[in-house]
Amino acid sequence: MNQSVLKVADLLTNAEADRKQISPIVSQLGQGNVEAAYQVQAELTRRGIGAGRRLVGRKVGLTSVAVQQQLGVGEPDFGALFADMEIEHLGSIKIEELIQPRIEAEVALVLDRDLDQADTTAAELTRAIAFVAPALEIVDSRIADWKISIVDTIADNGSSARYALGDTFRRITDVDLATCGMSMTRNGEIVSVGAGAACLGHPLKAALWLVRKLASAGAPLRAGDVILTGALGPMVSVTKGETYEAHILGLGSVQVRFG
């Protein structure tokens, strides 16, 4: 691993520890150097596991075609989910532990078997899903003012910080994930709306991309892993004292408060 990758990993580690924003790191890795960005993310993931954190899944990002075009890329990205990132439904998030958080509503999948084949089929993925749940992802960025390129966000763990799952669980065959409508409220007022089709046309398309990507990289998803499939509507900035709730048709609701 080259020194620039290690240097950027150190910068991001210190920024998170100090809760401070840093300048974009793309200049240190190279514009469009996605490979180096994933090397930084992998290094940070290794450090987390070495420090006793437990990897419990992955998140998919950049599932909006418009956002991909904005960042000049043609596919999504991913980040790691650790057990200590999960917030209970109806739980409270300590906003002082974050830097510049935002929130978005998603569909979460939980697997009941390993998916380690780079050519995993849609049918194999569907059979491997234990249940589906509504989710909120709290995204955050160590990059100042969210002025991120694709390289910045990948290196920064896909800009993922926390997540919450609702307490209603459905079988994949009992819900239409493409047409399910989503509304997210802040203190009871709607601030974001969307649908399953906003996530690469279907949340399972995003999940299948992730499964194949990770299997090809030799880091496959395992039974019990959580997949956050990507935003169903616009993300929203948050401040202290606000309560957010996402309702996804056919799946139920999930709520968190920033305390």
Q: How confident is the model at residue 73 (pLDDT cuts 50, 70, 90)?
A: confident
Instruction: Put residue 72 in one of left, alpha, beta given phi > 0 → left and psi -120 to 50 → alpha.
Output: left
- For the chain, percent of residues with pLDDT exceeding 70: 100
Indicate the SS3 state at residue 51.
Answer: coil
Q: Where are the domains of the chain?
A: 3-258
Q: How far is CA 112 from CA 69, 131, 152, 202, in A?
A: 34, 9, 32, 21
pLDDT in tens, 203-255: 999 999 999 999 999 999 999 999 999 999 999 999 899 999 999 999 999 99
208's tokens: 């299948």
Q: What superfamily would CATH give domain 3-258?
A: Fumarylacetoacetase-like, C-terminal domain (3.90.850.10)
pLDDT in tens, 22-69: 999 999 999 999 999 999 999 999 999 999 999 999 999 999 887 777
Residue 44 is inside which H or E element, if any? helix 34-50
